[in-house]
Structure 1
Amino acid sequence: MSRRKGSFGSRMFDICNIIFMLLIGVIMLYPFLNVIAVSISSNDQVMMGYVAIIPKDLNFGAYQLVLKDPLVWRSYLNTVLYAIGSVILTLGLTALLAYPLSVDDFKGKKAITVFLTITMFFNGGLIPTYLCIKNMGLMDTYWVMVLPGCVGAYNVFVFRTFFQGISKELRESAYIDGANDVVILFRIIFPLSKALLATFALFTIVGTWNSWFNALIYLSDQLKYPLQLVLRRYLFNAADSVTGNMDQAMKMQMQMMRVNMKSVQMALIVITMFPITIIYPFLQKYFAKGVTLGAVKG
């Protein structure tokens, strides 16, 4: 039998793989479609449970209600600023720490590596971290959402391992031409590390975009809230609508637009996940390559 046609067992294996991947795709896609369908369906259809993945009786009132809330726009801007600031600081500071550790003749490399390794396994805990941030004057500031997590030991080790995989001859040639370490890092190392930088930029953006707990314990000013805390507020409004304690102004607006709190929640979820959905395809080619780049050299 020709190898190109394959045996009956190999064909069955391929068919089973295709069916399995289709099932996984359906399982992952269904919640996404359901959220969109509920967000643009009328109140009656949603309340009766007729909406699955196909919208019924189209109604965009939920989006109108959400987009009229000034706190949503403010939190959206805050989250974008937090994400951009986290990416810049995380990539910049991590690279600045990892590059010296990748150089063989750097003094103090072992001591710094041991210190970083310890921080991977032990930390002060939530209360000491809170007290530290409070004593540093970061409470209820924009910086509290960016600075505490901008350098991680794991990220540093991945960057270091990747930098060690870059040919030493390139650095030696640059030294001979009169370049210093800063020039080498920004003109040679960074251009060769696009996949690594894109991968960790995506990780940082997604982590910052989904972060809500730090904002919950460190921020009291609503004007500094990220989008996830606003989503949490809408979730509490949903609970209040069940118990009858819902804000009357919002309740009247929902009645005028013929939507319920579930549709409003779904609309806000769609608005929340939209930027990540747009960004990922542009970084996907780097992401697939960059996931294993840190394992080039042990």
Structure 2
Amino acid sequence: MVKRRVPHGTKVKESLPERIFAVCNYIILTVIALLMLYPIINIIAVSFSNYTEYLKTPWMIWPRKITTDAYRLVFHNRFFWRSYLNTILVTAGSTVLSLVVTTLFAWPMARKELKGKPFLMAIMIFTMIFNAGMIPGYLNIQDLHLLDTLWALILPGTFNTFNCVIMMSFFRELPYELVEAAMVDGATEPYVLTKLVIPLSKPVIASITLFLAVGAWNSYFAAQIYIRDRDLWPMALTLKEILVSASTQILEAASDPSALQNAQQEIQSKNIQYASVVVSTLPIMCIYPFLQKYFAKGVMVGSVKG
């Protein structure tokens, strides 16, 4: 069969079925994108709107009778900002610690000369499939005297098998000739890892950083088990209480009374809930665009061979 060669720069004319398929794809993807964006737009619009306008048009996509009373109540809440700080500390600590531990484990496991690698891999996979459970985990945290401390939210998630497998796959794709050349020139293992391997692994590091940061930022279940002191609550747990309570009593207890008197007539729980959601998700939404260019390459590592 002779293939027709198309001159460089010449646009290939698509057939009618191909054009119909492309148009249908664009329409379907546009509808999916709008369905994904609408809840976010609606939450932002309601958080800035008067509650009576929300009752008239709950599906609004643009604020009506714009008011910032809900945000003033959120910003006056001492517990909300305290939990915000706790979440930043937990997210930063767990992300950095997990990245360090995962990298230090994945790099030797990706090396061909490591002895006992099948045994270590079997142990790692076993921990991913079988875990001790909630009660042994709680008893372990209790024996370590970590209850009611932020370390109870940081240390249990230090090592993640899934992230380690992704990083190992990426390390195997790196040209090992560079490592061998550096070792011949007298480079030490720490030098090779920090100056050669890590700079070449920005895509996978960025992807795993995003996984870890989003997971730690949104986590509330562990805090619900290990943390009793409200001053140590992460933001996700505080937000959960605000969303479940469906009242302004949580915010009123720690807010400025004068601010409440001005807003009490027009502000309702729905506005406060949505304002809390906007404030809590804003940092992650701001960070994601900077990591997006590495994300696709990082998660696709090892999926295509040859």
1:256 is matched with which residue?
262
Secondary structure of 1:293's partner? coil
Q: What is the CA–CA distance in structure 1 between the aligned matches of 2:200 and 2:71, rounded to whole Å?
A: 43
Amino acid at match of 1:147: L
Choose which of 157, 182, 193 in structure 2 pairs with 1:149: 157
Q: What is the CA–CA distance in structure 2 between the aligned matches of 1:297 and 1:10, rounded to whole Å?
A: 29
My pick for the range that moved more, 247-256 or 105-114, is 247-256
- Residues 81, 70 of structure 1: alpha-carbon distance in 2 compared, 3 angstrom cutoff: same
Q: What is the CA–CA distance in structure 2 between the aligned matches of 1:204 and 1:94, rounded to whole Å?
A: 11
Choose which of 180, 188, 204 in structure 2 pairs with 1:172: 180
Structure 1 unaligned blocks of 5 or more: none
My pick for the range that moved more, 61-70 or 116-125, is 116-125
Q: Deviations over 1:259-279 (max 9, x none)?
A: 101000000000011011110
1:29 is matched with which residue?
37
- Residues 14, 295 of structure 1: alpha-carbon distance in 2 compared, 3 angstrom cutoff: closer
Choose which of 77, 81, 92 in structure 1 pairs with 2:85: 77
Choose which of 197, 221, 234 in structure 2 pairs with 1:226: 234
- Residues 294, 220 of structure 1: alpha-carbon distance in 2 compared, 3 angstrom cutoff: farther
1:98 is matched with which residue?
106
Kindly indicate whether the alpha-carbon contact (under 8 Å) linking 2:73 and 2:251 is maintained by their aligned counterparts in 1: no
Q: What is the CA–CA distance in structure 1 between the aligned matches of 2:208 and 2:294, rounded to whole Å?
A: 10
Give the drift of 1:226: 0.9
- 1:277 and 2:292 aligned: no
Q: What is the CA–CA distance in structure 1 between the aligned matches of 2:305 and 2:144, rounded to whole Å?
A: 38
Amino acid at match of 2:96: I
Q: What is the CA–CA distance in structure 2 between the aligned matches of 1:87 and 1:249, rounded to whole Å?
A: 34
Choose which of 107, 121, 130 in structure 2 pairs with 1:113: 121
- Provide TM-score, normalisation by structure 2: 0.89
Give the drift of 1:255: 5.9
Paired residue total: 292
- 1:138 and 2:146 aligned: yes
Give the drift of 1:236: 3.5
- Provide TM-score, normalisation by structure 1: 0.92
Q: What is the CA–CA distance in structure 2 between the aligned matches of 1:247 and 1:99, rounded to whole Å?
A: 48
Equivalent positions of 1:176-255 (< 5 A) are 176-238=184-246, 246=249, 249=252
Give the drift of 1:171: 1.4
Kindly indicate whether the alpha-carbon contact (under 8 Å) linking 2:77 and 2:251 is maintained by their aligned counterparts in 1: no
- 1:291 and 2:304 aligned: no
Please report the RMSD computed on the Cα atoms of aligned residues, expressed in angstroms: 2.1
- Residues 175, 27 of structure 1: alpha-carbon distance in 2 compared, 3 angstrom cutoff: same
Kindly indicate whether the alpha-carbon contact (under 8 Å) linking 1:45 and 1:51 is maintained by their aligned counterparts in 2: no
Q: What is the CA–CA distance in structure 1 between the aligned matches of 2:131 and 2:17, rounded to whole Å?
A: 52
2:7 is matched with which residue?
none
Kindly indicate whether the alpha-carbon contact (under 8 Å) linking 1:161 and 1:296 is maintained by their aligned counterparts in 2: no
Structure 2 unaligned blocks of 5 or more: 1-9
- Residues 284, 176 of structure 1: alpha-carbon distance in 2 compared, 3 angstrom cutoff: same
Q: What is the CA–CA distance in structure 2 between the aligned matches of 1:296 and 1:51, rounded to whole Å?
A: 43
Q: What is the CA–CA distance in structure 1 between the aligned matches of 2:17 and 2:168, rounded to whole Å?
A: 45
Kindly indicate whether the alpha-carbon contact (under 8 Å) linking 2:74 and 2:251 is maintained by their aligned counterparts in 1: no
